[in-house]
Copies of this chain bind each other. A is one copy, B any other.
Amino acid sequence: MKENMQKKAVKHKAVILFSGGLDSTTCLAIAKSQGFACYALSFDYGQKHHAELAGATKLAKLFDVTEHKIVKLALNDFGGSALTDQRISVPDYQGDGKIPSTYIPARNTIFLSIALGWAEVINAVDIFLGANHLDYSGYPDCRPEYLSAFETMANLATKAGVEGQHFKIHAPLLQLHKHQIIREGLRLGIDYSMTFSCYRLDTHGRACGRCDSCVHRKKGFAEAGVPDPTQYV
């Protein structure tokens, strides 16, 4: 028992960006499997697909996170994205290599910055996010070079960084295909029927099946060779 207590005492804390979607839930499961005490951070940022927050709350409990914070930040007040601006409708998947209108200006930077602030307050140096660079929508803030630049900046920005701590941005899904992410999540026991990915969920929590996020998700389950538990309209 003494050994157990000692183990508990040295458990490192990590802040995890956690939307309750497929990627960030897998990311949370990975951080947990690596032995981190998990501090899950979600944002109520005026996203249209609000059902994901309710799902995130359930999942955070299921994963027994140390703390789950939902930060309110009205990015919809700025607009400029199909995900936050009521005047822009969410497009069907195009796959034309262009950055789609679902891109939210500086979203990951804003979320990571707030994660960095929380991490510094709780004396954590590890920050996880489910950014994915392969089966993704071409968002610039999911690229390895961006994440590396953020990490450099974070270590110059903070008291902890100046005092010799080193913040690390973990993106364990970065170089995985969607089907690999799903297989890893299943191995870690995730019930993906509880995760939401669709950009235009209906009021019953059913996915559209046609937006970028749905298309990547569907393809992932198909390629993983496992049943897709998603409820589509």
Contact = CB atoms under 8 A, between A and B. Distances in A.
Interface of A: 69, 71-75, 77-80, 99, 103-110, 112-114, 116-121, 140-141, 143, 145-146, 149-150, 152-154, 156-162
A84 to B, nearest CB: 10
Contact of A159 (B73, B99, B121, B145): B99
Contacts of A116: 105-106, 109-110
A110 B107 CA distance: 11
The 9 closest A-B CB pairs, nearest first, are A80-B121, A105-B120, A106-B117, A149-B153, A146-B156, A113-B113, A106-B116, A105-B117, A110-B113
Nearest to A114: B110
B149 A156 contact: yes
A31 to B, nearest CB: 19
Contacts of A74: 71-72
The prevalent SS among residues of A at the interface is: helix
Given A105-B117, A141-B157, 4 more contacts: A73-B73, A109-B154, A146-B156, A146-B157
Contacts of A152: 149, 152-153
A105 B115 CA distance: 10
Contacts of A154: 106, 109
A157 to B, nearest CB: 5
Contacts of A149: 149, 152-153, 156-157
A69 B79 CA distance: 13
A15 to B, nearest CB: 11
B153 A153 contact: yes
B120 A140 contact: no
A88 to B, nearest CB: 11
Contacts of A80: 117, 120-121
Contacts of A112: 113
* Most B C-beta atoms less than 10 A away, residue of A77, A99, A113: A113
A108 B113 CA distance: 9
Contacts of A117: 75, 78, 80, 104-107, 109-110
